Amino acid sequence: MKVLRVPVWVLVMAVGAGTAASSTADLIEKWMDGSHRAPGNAARNSYRHPTETLTFFGVEPSMKVVEIWPSGGWYTEILAPLLREEGKYYAAGFALTAKRTPEWRKKMQREYQHKLGAHPELYNQVIVTELSIPERTEIAPPGTADVVLTFRNVHNWMSGNYAPAMFEAMFNALKPGGVLGVVEHRAKKGTSRERMVRSGYVTEGHVKKLAKKAGFRFVSSSEINANPSDTAEHPAGVWTLPPTLRLGEKDRAKYLAIGESDRMTLRFIKPEKKGSKR
């Protein structure tokens, strides 16, 4: 019987990598279940799988991470404390000074910034930037971010007809080799663009097309955030489902039973050179 001998240094590296991944997952779980979370937010963990999602995108506590349009701060409550000591967290929010930003988004951004100011022990290292096309596009120092994350935003950009420019802004923020992580409501293959905009569900192919046009290379996908119970066919689009429940009490139990939407989870990389296949 032939014995395979593995060099000690290989074993040490493997153990070290496993320990680092385990440590990061433990920290994510600590913050996702923390008492600091806004009412109801931790209950969404079962739908949004933050530990699996962030580890799939390769987020580590020492990284420079940009989150696009954090809105009410669901992921901020996890990412900001995770990155506070060793890394940097850029919250690229709605632009308060941009003409095209609607008032309801400005209100949400002011509430978000109030949230940060109310808990400096967690959020005093958050770097707030603005992202609005075409006025505000520098979401972090160009070419410096390790990871850029966007959760359930692509359909909004399509509705505003500026999705390509948003992907370009994310590309510009990342360093060569940096990762773009996209989570988005998933439409069935062949869904028309008009239907995507109206329903809030986007095909994987369309997201990949937008990313490729900006210079990204697709790396891998995960079914972490899949929901087989979601047909993507609802009277008020994705907003029919929780947490929005746009139909109010009508068929509420039915939509609560379905849960949050079926979502794609895609990982892209910024090549060493734009257009490179490496």
* Domain layout of the chain by residue ranges: 8-226+262-269
Within 8 A by CB and 6+ apart from 258, the residues are: 227, 229, 230, 241
Q: How much is the pLDDT for 274?
A: 53
Best CA proximity match to 210, nearest among 155, 173, 138: 155
The yes-or-no verdict on residue 179 having pLDDT over 70 is yes
This prediction's pTM: 0.89
Question: What pLDDT does residue 89 have?
Answer: 98
pLDDT > 60? residue 276: no
Euclidean distance between CA atoms 88 and 188, whole angstroms: 36
pLDDT category of residue 100 using cuts at 50, 70 and 90: confident
233 contact partners, CB below 8 Å, separation of at least 6: none
Q: Which of 209, 204, 184, 181 is nearest to 270 (CA)?
A: 181
Query: pLDDT for 13-53, tens place per residue?
Result: 444 444 555 699 999 999 999 999 999 999 999 999 999 99
Apex CA 177: angle with CA 53 and CA 74, to 5°? 30
Q: So what's the pLDDT on residue 143?
A: 98
Closest to 109 measured CA to CA, from 131, 79, 133? 131
The DSSP secondary-structure symbol of 241 reads S
Asked which of 4-8, 149-153, 192-196 is least confident by mean pLDDT, the reply is 4-8
**Percentage of the chain lying above the pLDDT 70 cut:** 90
Which pLDDT value is given to residue 15? Answer: 41
CA distances for 211 relative to 35, 122, 140, angstroms:
37, 33, 19
Q: Which residues contact 271 (CB under 8 A, 6 or more apart)?
A: 176, 177, 215, 216, 217, 277, 278
Is the Cβ–Cβ distance between 25 and 53 less than 8 Å? no
Q: What is the CATH architecture assignment of 8-226+262-269?
A: 3-Layer(aba) Sandwich (3.40)
